[in-house]
Structures are given as C-alpha cells and as structure tokens.
Amino acid sequence: MKTKPIIGLTAPVEITAAEDAKGPAKFVSTFYTGGALEIAGYDLPVVVDLAGLEEGKILVANLDHDRTKRVGNFAVANDGKSLVASGTASAATEATREVVQSAAAGYQWQSSLEVNPKQIETVKAGKSVTVNGQEFTGPIYVTRKGVLKGFAFVSHGADDNTSATIAATAAQQKGSAMEPKLKTWIEAMGFDTETLSADQLAGLTSNYEGRNGKKGGKIEGGSNPFEARKLEAKRREDIRASADKLIESRDSDTDEITAIEKMVDHAIEAKMSAQEFRLELYESTIPQGRTVSAPRQRDSRLSNAVLEAAICETGRLPGYEDKFDDQTLQLAHDRFKGRIGLGQVFMLAAEANGYRGDYASKVTTEVQNAAFGLSRQIQGSGFSTVAIPQILSNTANKFLMVGWNSVDMTPMNISKIRSVTDFKQITTVSLTGDLQFEKVGAAGEIKHGTLGEQYYNNKADTYAKMLAITRQDIINDDLGALTSVPQRLGRGSALKLNDIFWTAFLDNSSTSWFHANNNNVNTGVADMTTGGLAATETIFMNQTDYDGKPLGILPAILLVPTALKTSARTLMTSETLIDGTATGTQGSKNVFAGRFRVESSPYMSNASYTGYSAAAWYMLADPQDLPFIEIAALNGRVEPVVETADAAFNVLGVEMRGYSDIGVTKQEKKAGVRADGGAS
C-alpha cells in the first residue's frame, strides 16, 4: 500500500439560515464517527485512528477544497471516538456568500474533512483490531498517525453516520430574558445576545455557570475545554474581521494598515474582547482620507515567505499552494487577499529595513534604496526579516520555470546530463572498451580492463539575457512586470538550449556521424512501419564494439519528427495491427507495442537547421546506458537561474538577468541508428 496524500472524510450537512441574519454564520458538524470509510484512491476501507490524529496549525474552512475560496476558521473536538468541528463563516469572500445564501435558499450542502496520513497500517484479512472504541476485521487500512488539514463545504458525502448543522445567527429575542450578569459576560466575550442561536446560548450559559461554580466545575481546564476553545476562536475571528473591514477601506495607506495589524496582535495577546477591540480600533484610527501621523511600525508577521506567497497568488503561479506551508499561505491571503502590488512590495521592504521617511504611496528612489538596504538612514536600525533581493530572486525563479516548461523539452529526455564544476573543456572516454570479465586463475590475479580509444570533448558556456523592471512599472504598481519578465527569460533559456542542441544533433555534414561505415544508418525499409522498425532494430542490434564483439545495448527511444509522431505512437500503443496490403499468412499481434519510448520535436523538421528532415527518424539507446548526445551543465543545473539587483544608486528600477551554463556535444556513434524514411 503506497501512502496516499490526503484522506477526504465527507459527511451530510444540514443548513438552516434564519431571517434577519446578523453577523457571520456558525457551523457545528460531526464529521467522523470512528468507523470504516470507502475512500476514492484506496483499495480497502479506511479507519482513521483518532488517538493518533493531530491538528494542523491553522484550520480553515473553504469551498470545494479550494484554498483560495475561504469561508472561515474552525476548531475541532476529538474525544477518541468521533470528530466534531465548530466554526464561523467569517471570511469576507464570494465563497462565504455562496455557502450561506445557497443554504438559505434550501440548497443541501455537505461537509468534508481533510486528513493527511503519516502512518498507515494494513490489517490483513481475518485479523481483528480495536480502533476508536470499535472492533474491525481486516482487510482494512488504519491511519495510525495523521494531521487534520481542513474543512470544506462540498456537494457530496460519504459517511452516513455523521451530521453537520450550519445556522446563520439571527434575532432570537433571548437577551431580554437573560440574567443581567450573564448578559454582560456574554457581551464582553464579543457576542450579541440578541442574535444567539439556541445552541450558542446553551454553550455560553454552560461556560458562564462553570466559571462561577454552578452545574459542575470551571470551564478552563475543567469539564468542557472544547467550549472554551470555541469561544477563544470566536474572539480571534471577530477581532480579525473587524480589522479586515477597516483595512479594506485603506488599501493605499500602508502606514495605517501596519498600525492596525499591530493592534490586532496586541488585542489577541492581551485577551481583549472583540467589542473592546472595536472600540479601541475606531478611537485610535483617523477617518479615511487623512494621513496617519503616527510613525510606521514593523509587522512582526511579515516575512520573505509571506511576501513571496502573496506575489505568487496575485500572479497566479500554477501550483503555488504546494510551494508554501499552510500558515504562510493563510497569512499572505489574509493580509493581501491576492492583490499585492509591486510598489507595495518595495514599500513594505523599505519599512522592514527601518525606513521612516514621510512619503506617499508612490515609490521613490529613496524608498527603493531603503528596500535594498542601501540607505544610510536605515543603518543601525536592527535586523530585518524582509530582504527584497531575496524575495525578487526567489519569486522570479518560480515564474522563470513556467516559461522554461512552456518550450519543447525533448533534449532533456534523450540526453545524458553531465555535471561539470567549471568552464574548462572536459574529455570523456568511450564506454565501449574491453571490460568483459575473465576467469580468475588459481593465483587469484585479476586482469586490468582497457577503456575504448574513442574520446569525446564537451564544455559548458554561459548564455544569458538581461531585462529590467522599469521606473514606470514600479510607479504603475505593475506586479505583472515581476512575474512576466522572468517567465520570458525562462522561455528564452529553453529556446537557446534547443537551438544549440538541435544544431549539434542534426548536423551530419562535417562529422559524418551517421554513415554506412559506422553501421548506424538505414536507407532500405526505413519508414515508420513494423517493417521499418524491424529493419532499423536489426541494424542497431548488429552493432559491435571496437573489438568486434556485439555491443549488447538495447534500443529504448524512437525519436521522430512531428509528421511521424502519430504513426509512432500508434505502433507503440496498439496491441493489434491491420495491414490491408499484406498477402499470405500473417499474425495480427503487434510485437512492437510498448517496446520503445516515443519522443518528438518540431525542431527536427525545421529548415533553419542543417540536416533537418520531415521523414528521417532515429532509434536511440537509453542515455543512461549509452549516451548518443550529452548536455554539460555547471553543477548539474541545466535550467536557468534568475538574479535581481538594484539599478544604479540614482536610478529607479530593478535589473533582472537570467543565465544558464551549458554545452552540447555528441558522444557515442553506436548509441543510435538513423532511418532516412525514404529521404536523403
């Protein structure tokens, strides 16, 4: 059993949305009752051992398991027999509105809990095991260790023994009948007593009574720690929601945004209620449209990784979620909501480096120098967790690979990669020397083998290009400049690799690499048919080493131009063949099915390259067994690198250079056979 990446536990959800809803919706769900589940991707039922289940650092509710469609946060109670999630749909997103409003219209949502399995035990058939207080008989899988990752609202469910309820808070008219002290205490916790649901009121009342010695012990460390955790999560969510609401109205005022974030941290640490925070927040902030006079303060949560994640989310880097941990992704999204600007990156970096200038929202030369750590003003200001050269380089290299991967990568698939440590010429001895084992005599003497007399040279050279993020890009707050420039450099590097590779591979004019004297050409039955394959394979297999003995290397790759790609794949994937021109007795079984790996490139038939042909094709050995062609790469890295640097001290802009250190040379003539396909 190979470890699967995620176990998705799904359950029905019943949603009741009351009228006159005030505040965010609440959800409470029993996601898992400890039983065996039928899960897609697993060939046996799965039981999640709740004793070994850990909680992730941040539990986020989303829609359809899409991290960008956040709904809110939640807490989980694990009693060793079942999982119960309780949370608030507090995120200000379209996903939240879809979940709550669809429920109000009668749509039946279901819930899904994600578990990342760390240790899976296989219980064999007939064996019994007790998990979660229940006995199970194999064959089953038991996840002995796992991490709870997240909660999602979905449109399908699996565990019939589970249930979930979501209800929008609405006016219940219960506040007037409350005990005054209870009402005061609930309001101090950040709740509106007029909008509590029956379940919320019961939980809060139990909490209050526990704190005051009624109906059994204190809640803190006492009979109901889960309720205390829910209240703490609610307090933090309400503080965060109040801050986000104010921040949305001050998108361009980074001074005040930083001050608000500092207040959030203080309120959470000081155990301040949501109402107390809202009062302090609105008394401390200046109405929109005025400039904040308080000095800028550093955001302790801001880091290189958070800014890089925000840039990748805004730039829609494919698969960016897999390049950062969940906490970093959450912080980046909560702070910037997928719309960070290039100018904002510079301003935040300058601030983190100690810049305290009186500036507007536009980046000046002084701000840029501070961002790069070049300003005298920031000397001695202390260590910064934000380094804009590193942020720009790390982010650029991620987008660089998008451009690199957008170009034909056939050279990487048919070549041996040779790692070199410098730019000096290297010499490789042929792999076809006299290394056949010999019988060891009575004296135990082992004879020395000899390497081939053929030598091949190669060396890495540097290929590079420079582009710039201009003053206009920064002033226009154009993040696209930071994402598109390295993407273009990545594409340019891949184009150069293909250019030097196919120039070397196809050109047979001076070296006569493929020649009858080398026994590595097929000019007879050489088309892309079973006959052509058989004839070419025979030539390949009949090759000998330089001592005249069979080479003993099997062909592994069919390299074909674009025009022959479909025919080659058909021959490699079809179990049977139909030949309408055949006469006499003939089998229909395709003996070549799956025999070779098909590789194809449009460069092979491009008239820009000497030796091009739309008909000729090649049968090659696996490059790890016997390389026909080799790519030399400095430190083994064929892919390009992007570096960024501040422009001249008095110039506003960022220079970005991409480079790769590579060389391409043919190696073993006997590692390939060229079939002309009827062409010359």
pLDDT, one tens digit per residue, over 458-471 is: 888 999 888 777 77
**Residues 6 or more apart whose Cβ sits within 8 Å of residue 282:** 246
Is pLDDT of 429 > 50?
yes
Among the residue ranges 258-272, 359-373, 630-644, the one predicted with the least confidence is 359-373
Query: What is the arithmetic mean of pLDDT over 313-317?
Result: 90
Q: Say if CB 247 and CB 279 are below 8 A apart.
A: no
Residue entry with tokens 């307090």: 235
Higher per-residue pLDDT: 267 or 144: 144
CA distance 112 to 102: 17
Q: What is the pLDDT of residue 30?
A: 72
Nearest one of 222, 325, 627, 599 to 458, comparing CA atoms: 627
Query: What is the arithmetic mean of pLDDT over 81-103?
Result: 80
CA distance 85 to 517: 76
CA distance 159 to 554: 52
Nearest one of 644, 626, 602 to 554, comparing CA atoms: 626
Burial 346-366 (b: 16+ CB within 10 A, else e): bbbbbbbbbbeeebeeebbeb
Q: What is the pLDDT of residue 551?
A: 82
Is pLDDT of 281 > 90?
no
Higher per-residue pLDDT: 42 or 61: 61
3-state secondary structure of 524: coil
- Label each residue of 574-609 as H, E or C: CCECCCCCCCCCCCCECCCCCCCEEEECHHHHCCCC
3-state secondary structure of 628: coil
27 membership: H or E segment, kind and range: strand 21-32
The pLDDT tens digits of the residues spanning 351-378 come to: 777 776 654 556 777 777 777 776 554 4
Query: What is the arithmetic mean of pLDDT over 626-648?
Result: 84
Q: What is the percent of the chain where pLDDT is above 90?
A: 19
Cβ neighbours, 10 Å, residue 313: 22
**Which one-letter DSSP state was computed for residue 669?**
G
Q: What is the pLDDT of residue 472?
A: 76
Q: What is the pLDDT of residue 40?
A: 60
Q: Please state whether the peptide bond connecting residue 640 to the residue before it is cis, i.e. omega within 30 degrees of 0.
A: no
Is pLDDT of 119 > 70?
yes
Is pLDDT of 537 > 90?
yes
Higher per-residue pLDDT: 489 or 275: 489
Q: What is the pLDDT of residue 523?
A: 92
3-state secondary structure of 126: coil
Q: What is the pLDDT of residue 297?
A: 47
Is pLDDT of 329 > 60?
yes
Is pLDDT of 211 > 50?
no
CA distance 387 to 384: 7
- Computed from CA positions of residues 471, 474, 478, 484, in that sequence, does the dihedral angle turn out positive or negative? positive
The pLDDT tens digits of the residues spanning 430-486 come to: 655 555 677 777 777 777 665 555 667 888 899 988 877 777 777 776 787 778 888
**Which residues sit opposite 86 in a β-bridge?**
28, 75
Q: How far apart are the first and last CA of the chain?
A: 53
Q: What is the pLDDT of residue 348?
A: 84
CA distance 556 to 546: 22
Q: What is the pLDDT of residue 284?
A: 58
Higher per-residue pLDDT: 257 or 508: 508
3-state secondary structure of 363: coil
Query: What is the arithmetic mean of pLDDT over 632-654?
Result: 76
CA distance 9 to 159: 7
Q: What are phi and psi of 74, to 5 degrees?
A: -150, 165
645 membership: H or E segment, kind and range: strand 641-646
Q: Per-residue confidence at 15, pLDDT binned at 50, 70, 90?
A: very low
Q: Say if CB 29 and CB 82 are below 8 A apart.
A: no
Average pLDDT of the chain, as a whole number: 76
Burial 18-55 (b: 16+ CB within 10 A, else e): beebebbbbbbbbbbbbbbbebeebebbbbbbbebbee
Taken as a whole, the chain contains a residue count of 680
Is pLDDT of 331 > 70?
yes
Is pLDDT of 18 > 90?
no
Tokens read off for 330: 């959450």
Tokens read off for 558: 């069919």
Q: Say if CB 418 and CB 633 are below 8 A apart.
A: yes
Q: Say if CB 353 and CB 373 are below 8 A apart.
A: yes
Indicate the pairing of strand 597-600 with strand 555-560.
parallel
Is pLDDT of 191 > 70?
no
User: In 512-569, at which residue ranges do the beta strands (DSSP E only) sit?
Assistant: 521-522, 555-560
Is pLDDT of 502 > 90?
yes
CA distance 558 to 565: 10
Residue entry with tokens 């980074």: 254
**Residues 6 or more apart whose Cβ sits within 8 Å of residue 565:** 598, 600
Query: What is the arithmetic mean of pLDDT over 48-71?
Result: 81
**Residues 6 or more apart whose Cβ sits within 8 Å of residue 109:** 13, 15, 99, 102, 103, 153, 154, 155, 166
Higher per-residue pLDDT: 237 or 429: 237
The pLDDT tens digits of the residues spanning 547-594 come to: 778 888 899 999 999 999 999 999 999 888 765 454 444 557 888 989
Q: Per-residue confidence at 290, pLDDT binned at 50, 70, 90?
A: very low
Q: What is the pLDDT of residue 432?
A: 58
Q: What is the pLDDT of residue 547?
A: 73
Is pLDDT of 96 > 80?
yes
Q: What is the percent of the chain where pLDDT is above 70?
A: 71
Q: What is the CA radius of gyration of the chain?
A: 34
- Computed from CA positions of residues 53, 59, 65, 68, in that sequence, does the dihedral angle turn out positive or negative? negative
Angle at 115 between CA 67 and CA 81, to 5 degrees: 135
Nearest one of 674, 455, 440, 457 to 546, comparing CA atoms: 455
CA distance 623 to 273: 66
Tokens read off for 164: 């979930």
